[in-house]
Amino acid sequence: MHTLFRARQIPLPAALVRLSELAHNLWYSWNDSAKSLFAEIDATLWDQCQHNPVRLLIEAPNEKLERLAGNGDFLRRYQAVIQQYDAYMERQTWFERQYPQHVHQAVAYFSAEFGFHELLPIYSGGLGVLAGDHCKSASDLGVPLVGIGLLYKKGYFNQKIDNRGGQQAENVVYDFMKLPIGPAYALDSESSQECEEPSSSPDAATETAPEELYITVPVADRTVRLKVWQVQVGRIPVYLLDADLPDNSPWDRELTGQLYGGNQDIRIAQEVLLGVGGIRALRALGIPTGAYHINEGHAAFLSFERLREQLDQGLPFHVALEVVRAGTVFTTHTPVPAGHDAFPLPMFDYYFSKLFADYPGLRHDFTRLGFDERKQAFNMTHLAMNTAALRNGVSKLHGHVSREMFREFHGDIDVNEVPIGHITNGVHLNTWLAPELKALFNRFFPGSWQQHQTNPDMWSSLQIVPNESLWNIHSGLKKRLIGLARDNLREQRRRSSLPADKLAEVDGYLSEQALTVGFARRFATYKRARLLFNDLNRLDRLVNNPERPLQFIFAGKAHPADQPGQDMIRDIYQVSQMDRFRGKIVILENYDINLARVLVQGVDVWLNNPRRPYEASGTSGQKAAMNGVLNFSVLDGWWEEGYDGANGWSIHSNDKSDPETQDRENTQSLYHVLEHEIVPLYYSQGEFPSPWVDRMKHSIRTLSPVYNTDRMVMDYTNGTYVPSLVRTQRFVSNHYEEATKVADYKKFVRSNWQHVRVLEVNDGLTTGRQPVPSMAPTKEATATVHFGPMWYRDTAVELVYYEEQPDGWRQVVVVMEPTRHLNENTIVYRAVIPSHLRHGSHFSVRVHPVSANFTHRFELPLVKAY
pLDDT at 262 (0 to 100): 82
- Same structural domain for residues 475 and 507? yes
Q: Is the pLDDT of residue 191 over 50?
A: no
Q: What is the mean pLDDT of residues 654-675?
A: 92
From 230-234, 422-426, 493-497, 633-637, the region with the lowest mean pLDDT: 493-497
- Same structural domain for residues 625 and 664? yes
- Same structural domain for residues 699 and 719? no
Residue with more model confidence, 773 or 722: 722
Residue 205 to residues 211, 313, 636, Cα–Cα distance (Å): 6, 24, 51
Residue with more model confidence, 206 or 290: 290
Q: Is the pLDDT of residue 213 over 70?
A: yes
pLDDT at 774 (0 to 100): 54
Residues sharing a CB contact under 8 Å with residue 516, sequence separation 6 or more, in sequence order: 478, 481, 482, 510, 551, 552, 553, 602, 603, 604, 605
Q: Is the pLDDT of residue 388 over 60?
A: yes
- 190: pLDDT confidence band, cut at 50, 70 and 90? very low
Tell me the C-alpha distance between 621 and 852, whole Å: 41
Q: For residue 7, is it within any domain?
A: no
Rounded to two decimals, the pTM is 0.94
Looking at every residue in the chain, the average pLDDT score rounds to 93
Q: What is the mean pLDDT of residues 104-112?
A: 97
* Domain CATH number, residue 471: 3.40.50.2000
- Same structural domain for residues 41 and 112? no
Q: For residue 459, is it within any domain?
A: no
Residue with more model confidence, 300 or 2: 300
Q: For residue 457, is it within any domain?
A: no
Q: What is the mean pLDDT of residues 828-836?
A: 95
- Same structural domain for residues 75 and 138? no
Q: For residue 436, is it within any domain?
A: no
Tell me the C-alpha distance between 582 and 747, whole Å: 68
Tell me the C-alpha distance between 827 and 820, whole Å: 6
In degrees to the nearest 10, what's the CA dihedral of 642, 110, 114, 390? Answer: 0
DSSP state of 629: P
- 313: pLDDT confidence band, cut at 50, 70 and 90? very high
- Same structural domain for residues 553 and 631? yes
CA proximity to 109, closest of 81, 78, 88, 130:
130
Tell me the C-alpha distance between 13 and 477, whole Å: 36
Q: What is the pLDDT of residues 241-294, one digit of tens each?
A: 999 999 999 999 999 998 887 899 999 999 999 999 999 999 999 999 999 999
- Same structural domain for residues 195 and 334? yes
| Residue 698 and residue 646 in contact, taking contact as beta carbons nearer than 8 Å | yes
Q: For residue 9, is it within any domain?
A: no
Q: For residue 441, is it within any domain?
A: no
- Give the N- to C-terminal CA distance of the chain in Å, as an integer: 53
- 303: pLDDT confidence band, cut at 50, 70 and 90? very high
pLDDT at 8 (0 to 100): 77
Q: What angle do CA 157, 163, 168 make, to 5 degrees?
A: 15
pLDDT at 764 (0 to 100): 76
- Same structural domain for residues 798 and 841? yes
Residues sharing a CB contact under 8 Å with residue 501, sequence separation 6 or more, in sequence order: none
Bridge-based pairing of strands 817-823 and 158-161 is unpaired
- Same structural domain for residues 581 and 540? yes
- Same structural domain for residues 403 and 547? no
Amino acid of residue 29: S
pLDDT at 189 (0 to 100): 38
pLDDT at 722 (0 to 100): 98
User: How far from the centroid of its chain's Cα atoms is residue 185's Cα?
Assistant: 28
From 4-18, 102-116, 413-427, the region with the lowest mean pLDDT: 4-18
In the listed set 22, 55, 89, which residue is the last one of a domain according to the structure?
89
Residue with more model confidence, 855 or 765: 855
Q: For residue 528, is it within any domain?
A: yes
Q: Is the pLDDT of residue 227 over 60?
A: yes
Q: Is the pLDDT of residue 203 over 50?
A: no
- 563: pLDDT confidence band, cut at 50, 70 and 90? very high
Q: What is the mean pLDDT of residues 1-26?
A: 84
* Domain CATH number, residue 770: 2.60.40
Handedness of CA 507, 511, 512, 515 (dihedral sign): negative
Q: For residue 433, is it within any domain?
A: no
- Same structural domain for residues 560 and 628? yes
- 2: pLDDT confidence band, cut at 50, 70 and 90? very low
- Same structural domain for residues 256 and 127? yes
pLDDT at 5 (0 to 100): 60
Domain count, the chain: 4
pLDDT at 693 (0 to 100): 97
Sheet strand arrangement including 550-555 = 585-588, 550-555, 515-520, 605-608, 630-634, 648-651
**Structural domain of 508:** 466-703
